Chains A and B, each alone.
Chain A
Amino acid sequence: MMPLSQYNVEQKMGNSFSHLPPLDLCVLYQKKTMSFQLNCPNCGKRAVSEFTFKSELKTRPAADADFSEWTDYVYFRENNMGPQTEWWFHSSGCQSWFLVERDTTNNTDHRSFWYNDSEQPDNN
């Protein structure tokens, strides 16, 4: 989670609620309709409705890993407010899987690349 001050939002609420994002922040980043164009490494910029989102990029635990690690892997999401790396699939297009590094607060700026071109995450 990024510090709230990064968004230049004045903290307007009382101290008792200081752990919550201020009201203005919620308004500022309320969900916009998804209409951006995603860059497919194969086909170029296409409407996001052509693609299927899978998940955040995560490292699969080892087979004998602790069960709590597996629970984290299967059921928990970072859900970053800010940059994150995600799996996308060009389902209504070339049908390839690729990775997108995207700022979740600003869909427009993102970088797409093949999995094999990415730095492999440590498998531990």
Chain B
Amino acid sequence: MAKRITTHKYCELPNLGEEISFTFDGKRIPAYANDSITSALISSGTSLISRSFKYHRPRGAYDVHGQGHESLVTVDHEPNILADRIQVRNGMVVLSQNAWPSLEFDLGEFNDFLVPMLPNGFYYKMFHKPKWIWPIAEHQIRKVAGLGKIDTAGKNAHRRYEKRYRFPDVCVVGGGPSGLAAAQGALDGGKQVLLIDDNPELGGHALHSIAPVSNCENEKLNGFPENKAVQRLIDELAAYPNLEVMVNTSVFGVYEDNLIAAQCGADLFKIRAKSVVLAPGATDRHLIFENNDRPGIMTARGVERLIMRHAVTPGEEAVVVTTHDGGFHTALLLEGAGAKVAAVVDGRESGNAKGEFEQKILELGIPVYKGLTAHAAHGRKRIERVDIGPLSGGDAHHSFNCDLLVLAVGFKPQVNLLSMGSKRPEWDPARQILRVTDLPSGTFSTGEVHGCAGFARLYAEGVKIGKVATQPDSSVSDENPHETERNADEIIMALPADIESGGKHHFICKCMDVTRAEARASIDEGYDQVETLKRYSSMGMGPCQGKACHEAVARLAAQDTGLSALDAVPTTVRPPFSGVTFGVLAGRAPYLSPIRRTPFHQCHIDLGVKFLNAGQWKRPDSYTDPQKEVGVVRNGLGMIDVSTLGKIEISGPEAIDFLQFMLPGKYAKFMVGRTRYSIMVGEDGILFEDGTISHIEQGRYYLTTSTGNQDAINYLFQWWLLVEDFNVQVKNLSLAYAALNITGAESREFLQKIVEIDMSNEAFPYMHCRQASIAGVPVSFFRIGFTGELGYEIHFPAEYGESMWNHLMSEGEEFALNPFGVETQRILRLEKGHLIPSTDTDALSSPYEAGVGFAIKDDKADFIGKAFSQNFKERGIENKLVSYQLEPDAPIPEDGVAVLEIGKSAADVKIAGRVTSSRLSPTLKRGVGLAWVRKDMADLGNNFTIRLENGRDVTATVLDHAAYDPEGLRLKS
């Protein structure tokens, strides 16, 4: 059994903090403040932490570092949290996942006995015949697939996520000896350094080592054990004012131009560094043998971490499988902690020079077996016995009773960050590891990720690379090589990828429960490339995303397909390196998007408006009932805030030429004081915008655009000005001017009362503009009629917004002036059959089909879209946008429903168009709208069928332009 220790023969034990407790599946677990969930669970004798994905096999702590999936739990309602990485808090509620009815007794484990029946991709092959069985099977499979459950009602659903930014000179990722040394190297070069580590404290694996440091460049560190030396190094760094340290922060991606993404709690850090040093280190290599996934099998560094950081021995009787002196170091730590080390099994043949810790183990009389390795583990929820035998497989030689099997078979560099989603690691036979070497300029790497080992060497290489990184343009090359010198006995030879020892449970990918036999079967089925093999067998596609197994997968695939180790290229590794909470990526939406308010915003609020989000704008939707507001405009006097319109002033000697070029209309005879309807088309001839253009003063033109295109059209104008070289000035007044539309039969009478100019129909006719003032404020008047009533749009400097609104409201009291909103305006314009580009049109709408071809004069010289406009005209139309009305009392279609052509039988139905806008007209007491229909259905008075969302059909009648006041008498009166 695992237990907490109070003394250790060879080192001091850490301070564990105060005593606290939390619950795991309802059971109270005592812990110390510095415990991780995993260490607290192990110390309390819990060896079973989770169940595997497919076969529901028992799983326990493995690397205690959160690289694998074994420690996924739900913490305080937040699912899929790695228990290895979470420090315990008093009263924390931890639940296991993927087990039913309980972790100890999981019915899903039945799957384990079905292994032969659930091969890879079984869902592609099984349950498909007879056909009716699949929907039932799929339902069951989906029910059991997946891990934690999201608690949408929990408090985390409303957690606030932030984005943060850093711009250091040098960003060092990894706080182990090489990362610390690199930081020191860069700091000594006078740079601003950001050092990031994903553990609660700096130091990396050196914190868990008692190997003495010797021959270190930094002489102050010599003579100390590594855990003390690294602490001294950290103390040295603390004295630098230019260093920022971030712990508990996991870097999950390195992107172009040294952009680093890191998560710390609920914060996303975007770090743009001049240069980056990656020192992610390495983890213990995977070993594949029968039942290699059983609880009680742990990595050497995991065991060292438990002892040195948490004062926990994870077992009483241990067997250590190793191929280097590090395994003997682990054995010594276990022995010093009071555990019985039954044997150390060394994969190397005898005859090698003996390492320092191997000597000590031999002196202690612990049996050492050479040239052997683990063949099989026995036991279900905890290992009980281990068989060992030769590397070549075959029969086992020995068997040991034990409750802990430690794997120390070499190191697997964490190349994920170095590969940046595109660079494939290559097998380096001299170092027996996968490496990524060709990093882009400004990105450097150092340490165990290149197979460098030993504190002194890690330090030397780290400092050197840190100094190189102070010059982002330099590179790691022949002048600045990685430490390559190795004595033959320092290289950790890789064991065979799999020990051929019989049994069906040699797990390659523990996350997805893929065994060696399944991988072989997939290769036999033809998936013999590492990429196809991965997709078919789902190896490396589980929660750890191949961190644990990608090297093993590559080597086994090479072995099974007869390739050499050099050709064992692993699958591409992409960000994120560690699991990232979706909320962190989403950030604080929608609050980070700017909100744009018109100058009348407060006036709207005072009137109890309902707002409408139009892009970033807050516009008044309506103040009361839009249907009633329509009546106000039709029978009296209304006012709407149209400040969100784009407003562009064009002047200069060539202003008229510019307009002739930009707009499809003709402006040669455009008199001062006139206003015209204008459309805009792209070079492709497609209608994308409409508005008005006014000649307000000699040589000064004023263009209005719709809300949505306010910015886009300004940018477009700027671009054309650049490439076409007109002598004009274009001024974007969109935000400088506020605008209101005052409309209704009484609008003239009302305005005449407050302005000095003659507003009569003769002096100021329809489609004209005038300059005047209201209450001393200069105002431009445009007599236009989007609503279908007599109306005036007034534009004036935005800073007078509120006072103008209040002035008009009080002056308009005797005319019963009432504001109305955008929804009301939509009904008003539909009664008049006015289209809104991009609401009623799309990227395929020619102006001729949309019924605004009259605004194109293609007989003039060059203009934007001329070639395609001419082509559209020649080709004629296929569809048409028509205004329609329904019978009184017919239900109102939803926007976007289909127009149908119904043949002889009810089943003979063809889609012949669609409704783009549809509203109930309170004026006409029936539905009105706009719809695209086939040309032959678009004749005046023709009937067509609209199918509603509920499946009912209504009949619509094509109108000539408008349902309300088709002759436009009210507009022009």
| Cross-chain contact of B719 among A61, A62, A67, A89 (Cβ < 8 A) | A89
| Other-chain residue from A36, A54, A61, A62 in contact with B256 (beta carbon distance below 8 A) | A36
Q: A27 to B719: give the CA distance in the assembly, Å.
A: 37
Out of B272, B421, B424, B441, name the residue touching A47 (CB < 8 Å).
B272
Determine the distance from Cα of A67 to Cα of B866 in the docked complex, in whole angstroms. 10
Majority-rule SS of B interface residues? mixed
Query: Do B256 and A107 touch across chains, with their CB atoms under 8 A apart?
Result: yes
User: In whole Å, how far is A124's beta carbon from the nearest beta carbon of chain B?
Assistant: 15
In the bound complex, what is the Cα–Cα distance between A113 and B255 (angstroms)? 25
B572 at the interface (CB under 8 A from A): yes
Chain B residues 623-663 with CB under 8 Å of chain A are none
Q: How far is the CA of A117 from the CA of B64 in the complex (A)?
A: 60
Q: Which residues of A contact B257 (CB under 8 A)?
A: 35-37, 107-108
A27-B572, A33-B256, A35-B256 given as contacts; is B715 within 8 A of A91 (CB)?
yes
Contacts of B868 in A (CB 8 A): 70, 74
A74 to B253, CA, bound (A): 38
CA distance A70 to B870 in the complex (A): 12
Question: C-beta contact mask, B253-275 vs A, less than 8 Å → 1, else 0?
Answer: 10111010000000000001000
B422: chain A residues within 8 A (beta carbon) = 27-28, 30, 32
Closest CB in chain A relative to B682 CB, distance in Å: 8
For residue A2, CB closer than 8 A to chain B, the reply is: no
Contact of A63 among B253, B255, B715, B862 (CB under 8 A): B862
Contact A32 B862 (CB under 8 A): no
Known pairs A52-B715, A108-B440, A108-B441. 13 more at Cβ < 8 A? Answer: A27-B424, A30-B422, A32-B422, A36-B256, A37-B257, A70-B683, A74-B868, A75-B684, A87-B719, A91-B715, A95-B718, A97-B722, A108-B256
Q: Smallest CB–CB gap between B92 and chain A, Å?
A: 35
Complex alpha-carbon distance, A30 and B422, angstroms: 7
A1 interfacial by beta-carbon distance below 8 Å:
no
Query: When the two chains form their complex, are residues A32 and B722 in contact, meaning their CB atoms are under 8 A apart?
Result: no
B256 touches A115 (CB 8 A): no
Quote the shortest CB–CB distance from B708 to chain A (angstroms).
15
- Ordered by A's residue number, 7 sampled pairs between the chains whose C-beta atoms are within 8 Å are A28-B422, A35-B255, A35-B257, A70-B867, A89-B719, A97-B718, A115-B722
Q: How many angstroms between the C-alpha atoms of A116 and B867 in the bound complex? A: 27
Query: B862's closest neighbor in chain A, by CB?
Result: A63
Q: Known: A63-B866, A107-B256, A108-B440. Is A32-B719 also a contact (CB below 8 A)?
A: no
- Size of the A side of the interface (Cβ < 8 Å), in residues, is 32
Top 10 closest A-B pairs, CB basis? Answer: A63-B862, A35-B255, A70-B867, A36-B256, A35-B259, A36-B257, A35-B256, A37-B257, A74-B684, A74-B683
B719 touches A97 (CB 8 A): yes
Contact residues in B for A60 (Cβ distance below 8 Å): 683, 723
Say whether B861 faces chain A, with CB atoms less than 8 Å apart.
yes
How distant is the Cα of A49 from the Cα of B256 in the complex, in angstroms? 13
Residues of A within 8 A of B421 (CB): 30, 32-33
Chain B contacts for A30, CB-based, 8 A: 421-422, 572
CA separation between A60 and B441, bound complex, in Å?
38
Does A53 belong to the interface (CB within 8 Å)?
no
Shortest B843–chain A CB gap in Å is 12
Q: How far is the CB of A10 from chain B (nearest CB, A)?
A: 12
| Contact, CB under 8 Å: B867 / A63 | yes
Closest to A109 in B: B441
Q: Give Cα distance in the complex from A107 to B256, angstroms.
A: 8
Q: Bound complex: CA of A32 vs CA of B862, how far in Å?
A: 41
B871 interface residue, CB < 8 Å from A?
yes
Residue of B255, B420, B723, B867 near A115 (CB, 8 A) is B723
Cross-chain contact B718 with A32 (CB below 8 angstroms):
no
Contacts A32-B255, A32-B256 given; does A67 touch B722 at CB 8 Å: no
CA distance A95 to B424 in the complex (A): 39
Q: Which residues of B contact A61 (CB under 8 A)?
A: 867
Point out the residues of chain A lying under 8 angstroms from B715, CB to CB: 52, 89, 91, 95, 97
| Residues of B contacting A95 in the complex (Cβ-Cβ under 8 angstroms) | 715, 718
CB–CB A63/B861 < 8 A = yes
Residues of B within 8 A of A54 (CB): 719
Cα–Cα, bound, A115→B719 (Å): 10
Chain A 79-92, CB-CB to B under 8 Å as 1, else 0, gives 00000000101010
With CB as the reference atom, state the residue of chain B lying closest to A34.
B256
Complex contacts, B861 vs chain A, CB 8 Å: 63
Task: Looking at the assembled complex, report how far the CB atom of B832 sits from the nearest CB atom of chain A, in whole angstroms.
Answer: 33
Q: Mark B415-458, 1 if CB is under 8 A from A, else 0.
A: 00000111010000000000000001100000000000000000
A contact residues around B867 at 8 Å (CB): 61, 63, 65, 67, 70
Q: CA of A36 to CA of B442 in the docked complex: distance in angstroms?
A: 13
CB neighbours of B718 from chain A (8 A): 95-97
The CA of A30 and the CA of B571, in the complex, are separated in Å by: 14
- Interface membership of chain B positions 819-863, coded 1 if the CB is closer than 8 angstroms to chain A and 0 otherwise: 000000000000000000000000000000000000000000110
B866 to chain A: which residues have CB within 8 Å? 63
The complex places the Cα of A30 from the Cα of B726 at a distance, in Å, of: 42
- Tell me the residues in window 666-705 of chain B with beta carbons closer than 8 Å to chain A beta carbons: 683-684
Chain B's nearest CB lies how many Å from the CB of A32?
Answer: 6
Residues of chain B within 8 A (CB-CB) of A35 are: 255-257, 259
Q: Could you tell me the distance in whole angstroms from the C-beta of A73 to the nearest C-beta in chain B?
A: 7
Q: How far, in whole Å, are A38 and B511 apart by their CA atoms in the complex?
A: 40
Chain A residue contacts of B259, Cβ below 8 A: 35, 47
Kindly name the residue among B256, B420, B421 whose own CB sees the greatest number of chain A CB atoms within 10 A.
B256
Q: Smallest CB–CB gap between B426 and chain A, Å? A: 13
Give chain B nearest CB distance to A100 CB in angstroms.
14
B548-588 interface with A by 8 A CB criterion? 572, 575
- Residues of the A chain whose Cβ atoms lie less than 8 Å from the Cβ of B575: 33
Chain B, residue nearest A57 (CB): B723
What per-residue 1/0 map shows which CB atoms of A1-43 lie under 8 Å from chain B? 0000000000000000000000000011010111111000000
- Contacting pair B255 A33 (CB below 8 A): yes
Chain A residue nearest in CB terms to B871: A67
Report chain B residues within 8 Å CB of A74. Answer: 683-684, 868
Alpha-carbon distance A79/B718, docked complex (angstroms): 25
Question: What mask results when residues 236 to 266 of chain B are scored 1 for a CB within 8 Å of chain A, else 0?
Answer: 0000000000000000010111010000000
CA distance A35 to B866 in the complex (A): 38
CB-CB nearest in chain B for A96: B718
Residues on B with beta carbons closer than 8 Å to the beta carbon of A63: 861-862, 866-867
Contacts of B424 in A (CB 8 A): 27
Q: Which residues of B contact A34 (CB under 8 A)?
A: 256
Q: How far is the CA of A107 from the CA of B257 in the complex (A)?
A: 9
CA A89 to CA B272, docked complex, whole Å: 22
Alpha-carbon distance A91/B424, docked complex (angstroms): 36
Return the chain B residue nearest A115 by Cβ. Answer: B722
- Bound CA–CA A61/B864 (angstroms): 11
Q: Closest A residue to B686 by CB, please name it.
A: A74
> Smallest distance from the beta carbon of B506 to chain A beta carbons, Å?
29
Bound together, the chains give a CA A97 to CA B717 distance in angstroms of 11
User: Which residues of A are found within 8 Å of B719, using beta-carbon distances?
Assistant: 54, 87, 89, 97
A54 to B684, CA, bound (A): 15
B554 CB to nearest A CB, Å: 14
Chain B residue contacts of A27, Cβ below 8 A: 422, 424, 572
With both chains docked as a complex, state the minimum distance between the C-beta of A75 and any C-beta of chain B, in angstroms: 8
Please report the C-alpha to C-alpha distance between residue A68 and residue B441 in the assembled complex, in whole angstroms.
44
In whole Å, how far is B425's beta carbon from the nearest beta carbon of chain A?
Answer: 13
Q: Which residue of A lies closest to B255 (CB)?
A: A35
* Minimum C-beta distance from B258 to chain A (A): 9
Given the interface pairs A27-B572, A115-B723, the reply to whether A32 lies near B683 with Cβ below 8 Å is no
Minimum CB–CB distance from A71 to chain B (whole Å) comes to: 9
Most B-side CB within 10 Å, residue of A33, A34, A36, A67: A33
Cα-based distance from A95 to B867 in the complex (angstroms): 30
Q: Which residues of B in the span 495-530 have a Cβ within 8 Å of any Cβ on A?
A: none
Q: How far is the CA of A67 from the CA of B424 in the complex (A)?
A: 47
Which residues of A are found within 8 Å of B441, using beta-carbon distances?
108
* Complex contacts, A87 vs chain B, CB 8 Å: 719
CA distance A3 to B159 in the complex (A): 52
Q: CA–CA, A105 to B422, complex, Å?
A: 12
